[in-house]
């Protein structure tokens, strides 16, 4: 979800909080730190008052976008089959 939020360009923490409102600030901070550690995004702190920090995808992080697009396309194509399998499984389990 963070990759999708940063796909359009750099964003501040508060700008990430809005679309990710179900994620607590603590978990979002931990996720951003882990993604920075793994080279998927950069964290840029600006020497301003008040301080400003922006997060942006690195080329490695941006390389995930086509994979997410492919997963979405696969899900849209195969969702009817998945739902049918679930219905069948529930009937068989009953």
C-beta separation of 46 from 53 below 8 A = yes
2-93: CATH topology is Arc Repressor Mutant, subunit A (1.10.10)
52, β-bridge pairs: 46
List pLDDT tens digits, range 59-90. 999 999 999 999 999 999 999 999 999 999 88
pLDDT, residue 91, reads 85
Band of the pLDDT at 32, cuts 50, 70, 90? very high
d(CA 65, CA 22): 22
Domain locations in the chain as residue ranges: 2-93
Question: Average pLDDT of the chain?
Answer: 94
Band of the pLDDT at 92, cuts 50, 70, 90? confident
pLDDT, residue 78, reads 96
pLDDT, residue 40, reads 98
Return the residue matching tokens 């492919």.
70
């Amino acid at each position: 979800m963070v990759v999708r939020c940063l796909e359009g360009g750099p964003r501040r923490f508060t700008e990430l909080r809005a679309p990710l409102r179900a994620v607590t600030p603590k978990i979002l901070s931990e996720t951003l730190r882990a993604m920075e550690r793994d080279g998927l995004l950069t964290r840029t702190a600006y020497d301003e008052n008040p301080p400003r920090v922006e997060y942006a995808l690195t080329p490695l992080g941006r390389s995930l976008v086509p994979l997410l697009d492919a997963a979405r396309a696969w899900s849209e194509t195969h969702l009817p089959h998945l739902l049918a399998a679930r219905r069948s499984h529930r009937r068989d389990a009953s």
